[in-house]
Structure 1
């Protein structure tokens, strides 16, 4: 697979991933007290962090989008 995630996209995904992990495990918001939202947010947060780290988004590959210059 080729790199298809650019720098700004990586930063936004990393911030979103960290925010979702924070909301899932550290915040005391009532919405995230249930298992569905807690583990759903954690799963999406981990996926966002993985995509930001690897710079490869499978969904972008399927659609044909590239946000990087390379």
Structure 2
């Protein structure tokens, strides 16, 4: 499982995930905020299954010598 999520994409996913999860505790108090676990997890791990299926890669390729 290789990283396919770039640094900017990862940061945005973590921010969006935390914002959605915060809605469970502060604000709307709806369980739909738990959907924020998905972008949070993919941001922390750096791998997105949907990106793999669609052939998308926002992470730069490693230069091999």
TM-score normalised by the chain length of structure 1: 0.78
Highest RCO, 1 vs 2 (Cα 8 Å, sep ≥ 6): 1
Q: Structure 2: where are the runs of 5+ without partners? A: none
For residues 34-68 of structure 1, the C-alpha deviation after alignment (integer angstroms, 9 at most, x for no partner) is: xxxx22221x2111111011000000000000000
Relative to its length, the structure with more helix (as a share) is: 1
Superposition CA RMSD, Å? 1.2
TM-score normalised by the chain length of structure 2: 0.83
Q: Residue 10 of structure 1 corresponds to which residue in structure 2? A: 10
